[in-house]
Structures are given as C-alpha cells and as structure tokens.
C-alpha cells in the first residue's frame, strides 16, 4: 500500500495542469494551492482506507476531473444564493424579505458613492441619519416621531432601556414569548435593567390585573405580539384602547412590540386580520416597534414610531450608536417605504407583499409552468405532478394560518425522496423545498419564474 503514496502527483504538477482552466486561474493562488493540498490529503486517506488500491487511479489525468470538482465546490463563497421553494415567504433562515427593485438600486447607489447620510444639504452642516426616513414613517403610520435601528430586537432593547431601566414593566403572562434564536422577552427585559412585572394567567389577562400591578416604581405598560404562536379557546387580552386609558390615568407610556408589524392590510386574503402599525398608532400606543424585513418587505431594521415625547428620549440614548442602522440599509428602507405611499404600488412592487397576496389561480398557472419546465429538462428521470397545498407567511407573522397554493411534486425514478432533498443542498445553486406525504414538493409562491430553469438544473445535478 505504501508504494502508492509515491504515485500521488505533486502539488506543482496539479497546479500546472489546472492552469488551462480560466476560473481556477482567477482564484487567489494561496487558496488554490491550499485546496489542492487538501485534495491530496483526501487521496492519502483513500489509499490508507483501501478506497484507492491501484496506481492507475492516481494518474494525473484520472485525478484532474475530481480535483476540479473539489476545488470548484470548496472555492465557492460561503454566503450564497439559494432557491427557496418552501413557500415560506418571510423565511428567517433564508434571508427573510427580498428587496423591491427600487430598494436594490438604492443600495447600489448608496454604497458606490458618497452621500448625504449625516450631512444636511440645506445648511452644509452635520445632519441626522434618521432624517431620511422619519417623515416618511410619520406620514405612513400617522405617528408624531420615528427612529430606526439595526433590527427589531435592538429596537425593543433600546425602548426598554430608555423608558424602563430599573423600573417595572407590566406585561401579560400570555405575551412572554420566545420568538426563536433564543430571543425571549423576559430575558431581553432583564438585560435592559427593566424589571418584569408579569400579570394575568397564561390564557387570560384583564384590565384589573394591569391596574393592580401599578405602583410607584412602574415605568411602562407593555404589549408583545405573540408572534409565532396563537392562543385559542378561553382567552382574554386587554385591548390597546383599554391600555391607553390605563396609561393616561397613571401617566405611563404604553409600549407595543408588534414583531412583524404590517403597514399593509391583508383584507380578504384568507388571513385573520392583524392590526396594522397605522391602527396601533391610531389606538394610542405611545411607542411601537417592528421589523423592517418581516411582512414589511424591506431590509433588516428595527423601526420605532410613536409620541415625540418618548421617541426623543430614545434618540438621545447613547446605546443608539451601538445599534445604529447602516447606510445601505437606510437606502433600502427609504426606497421601500416610498413604495408604501401608494398601497397598490406596494402590493405589486414589494416582493414580500406580492408573494403573500398572490392569488391561487396565478399560483396554479405558475405551478403548471414550472412542471412543464421540469418535464422538458429532466425527461423521464422524474415524475412531475401538480397538486393543492398550503404555504405560510413565516417570520412570526400570521402563525398557524394557511395560504392556499399549488405544489409541484417531483418523484425521482432512481433516487429516494429524502436523498434527493439532501443532495439538493449541495447543488449550484442549492434548492430548498419540503417533503410532504413522501413526495418532494416545490411551492411556486417563493420561486421566481426566472428561477425555474435553475431549479431544473439543480435537480438534474442532484440526480447525477
């Protein structure tokens, strides 16, 4: 066996052989050399374990195709595009919202050139980065003031740290949620120095529960969107107008973590209506926080709107600097919010809204087109069908609520369905979809028609 090691080609011989390949020549030399070394280590391991037992298997000409495949796979950037065929529109693990074209253009402009990020073009003096979106946010939501931070988690943090540090915050037991990624409202609260005062029972909380909890050290009343779960059956939550009334009586701010926070009314789309940010503001919440990249369909950001009295205090908190929004995000956010000045325009141009509101008959015809492309490209290597199914909004919005969709089913002839799913994680690009009733299902809701050929290509790669 040991004589085989001597037949391994040298690193330099491999590098010379790869010199004809344009894409390999463009790789940084140390990266390429490192990967070739790694590959040769794999071969040594294969010799030791007996997988390679013949001299001929180590000939440069025999190894080259494997080396190329190995290098191409390993040299890819780690952070890559993925085809999302899960039908989950706001998929946190796959980047949540896709930006509208207007927002993408604004990002490119913002990062390729200098800008008036914190420069007031009226005075020639230092300006504020919130100024670009504050008026828009106030116009859209009806709030008096607004600021934006890195994400909603930091929005909740800075809101509590500013308004309730070392003071009690009254929250219903039914709203002490964990939203995933180990973000739990009680834990976040204790990190801000606010003291959680929980009231009510898990399923029912009354006005008298909140009122009974108020004492001289109470700093705020808070409501939290239950996000990814839904309380059903014998339940009672105190309404915002009731909270407002209580807040007024004791001069306490009413804070609301809306989570996903929609600016758009999903009326008549088979979804149980959730209050929009506009409604929550109109009903008198003092400070409302929500995400930029959930149902709103913009970049990752935390948006805080509300009464000027409280927002001004938050703006002055030095923590703002630690959670500030960057210029590319700000550019994308402004461009997205501008689309909301016309709700019909938002519905058609903001991809997240467009995907959530896509009618079943469109999904059905998209599914048929996707099925046709798959049949054309894959022939009889797979059996392709179309059937009814459901998609989800995701991102903690509209939990447990189904959206009707049409699914494209793919049954490979010579491969198991779980194996197909697994192999699709390593194709170019990777394709993520789900198995339902033992068949592989692609949901066209989250797949752009321009991606159908790519999806077919990924499946072809997985089959071979």
Ligand X SMILES: *Cc1c(COP(=O)(O)O)cnc(C)c1O
By CB under 6 A, name the binding residues for ligand X. 151-153, 156, 179, 183, 224-225, 227, 257, 259-260, 291, 302, 396
Instruction: Closer to ligand X by CB, 9 or 302: give it.
Output: 302
Instruction: Closer to ligand X by CB, 247 or 394: give it.
Output: 394
In whole angstroms, the minimum distance from the beta carbon of 433 to ligand X comes to 24
- Radius of gyration (Cα) for the chain, nearest Å? 27
Q: Provide the angle, in degrees to the nearest 10, between the axes of the packed helices 308-316 and 152-164.
A: 100
In whole angstroms, the minimum distance from the beta carbon of 157 to ligand X comes to 9
Let me know the angle formed at the C-alpha of 193 by 191 and 194, rounded to the nearest 5 degrees: 110
Sign of CA pseudo-dihedral 283, 285, 286, 287? negative
Instruction: Closer to ligand X by CB, 290 or 452: give it.
Output: 290
Residue 341, classed as helix, strand or coil, is: coil
User: Is the distance from CB of 160 to CB of 187 less than 8 angstroms?
Assistant: no
Instruction: Closer to ligand X by CB, 304 or 441: give it.
Output: 304
Sign of CA pseudo-dihedral 273, 277, 282, 284? positive
User: Is the distance from CB of 138 to CB of 303 less than 8 angstroms?
Assistant: no
In whole angstroms, the minimum distance from the beta carbon of 262 to ligand X comes to 12
Instruction: Closer to ligand X by CB, 149 or 386: give it.
Output: 149
- How many Cβ atoms are within 10 Å of 214's Cβ, its own excluded? 18
φ, ψ for residue 183 (rounded to 5)? -95, 105
In whole angstroms, the minimum distance from the beta carbon of 198 to ligand X comes to 16
Instruction: Closer to ligand X by CB, 302 or 351: give it.
Output: 302
- How many Cβ atoms are within 10 Å of 5's Cβ, its own excluded? 12
Instruction: Closer to ligand X by CB, 301 or 373: give it.
Output: 301
User: How far apart (Å, rounded) are the C-alpha atoms in residues 433 and 440?
Assistant: 7
Closest CA to 307 of 169, 163, 459, 207: 163
Question: Which single residue brings its beta carbon nearest to ligand X?
Answer: 259
């Amino acid at each position: 066996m040991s004589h085989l090691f001597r037949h391994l080609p040298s690193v330099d011989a491999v590098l010379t052989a790869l010199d004809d390949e344009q894409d390999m020549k463009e790789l940084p030399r140390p990266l390429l050399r490192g990967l070739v070394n790694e590959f040769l280590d794999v071969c040594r391991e294969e010799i030791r374990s007996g997988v390679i037992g013949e001299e001929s298997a180590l000939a440069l000409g025999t190894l080259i195709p494997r080396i190329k495949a190995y290098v191409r796979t390993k040299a890819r950037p780690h952070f890559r595009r993925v085809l999302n065929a899960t039908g989950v529109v706001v998929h946190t693990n796959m980047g949540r919202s896709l930006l509208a074209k207007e927002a993408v253009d604004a990002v490119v402009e913002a990062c390729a050139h200098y800008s008036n990020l914190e420069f007031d073009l009226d005075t020639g003096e230092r300006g504020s980065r919130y100024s670009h979106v504050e008026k828009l946010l106030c116009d859209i939501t009806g709030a008096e003031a607004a600021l934006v931070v890195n994400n909603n988690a930091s929005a909740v943090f800075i809101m509590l740290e500013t308004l309730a540090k070392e003071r009690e915050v009254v929250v219903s037991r039914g709203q002490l949620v964990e939203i995933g990624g180990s973000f739990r409202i009680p834990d976040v609260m204790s990190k801000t120095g606010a003291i959680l005062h929980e009231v009510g029972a898990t399923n029912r909380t009354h006005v008298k529960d909140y009122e009974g909890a108020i004492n001289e050290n109470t700093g705020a009343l808070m409501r939290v969107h239950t996000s990814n779960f839904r309380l059903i059956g014998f339940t009672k939550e105190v309404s915002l107008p009731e909270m407002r009334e209580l807040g007024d009586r004791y001069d306490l701010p009413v804070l609301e973590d809306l989570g996903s926070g929609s600016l758009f009314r999903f009326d008549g789309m088979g979804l149980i209506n959730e209050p929009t940010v506009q409604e929550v503001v109109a009903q008198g919440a003092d400070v409302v926080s929500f995400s930029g990249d959930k149902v709103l369909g913009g970049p990752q950001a935390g948006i805080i709107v509300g009464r000027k009295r409280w927002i001004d205090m938050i703006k002055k908190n030095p923590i703002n600097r630690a959670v500030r929004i960057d210029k590319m995000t700000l550019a994308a956010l402004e461009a997205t919010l501008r689309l909301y000045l016309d709700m019909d325009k938002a519905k058609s141009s903001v991809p997240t809204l467009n995907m959530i509101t896509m009618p079943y008959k469109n999904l059905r015809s998209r599914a048929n087109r996707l099925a046709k492309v798959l049949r054309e490209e894959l022939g009889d290597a797979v059996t392709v069908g179309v059937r009814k199914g459901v998609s989800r909004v995701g991102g903690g919005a509209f939990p447990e609520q189904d959206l009707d969709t049409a699914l494209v089913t793919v049954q490979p002839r010579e491969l198991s369905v779980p194996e197909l799913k697994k192999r699709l994680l390593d194709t170019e690009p990777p394709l993520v979809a789900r198995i339902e009733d033992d068949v592989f299902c692609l949901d066209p809701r989250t797949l752009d028609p321009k991606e159908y050929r790519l999806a077919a290509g990924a499946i072809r790669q997985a089959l071979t």
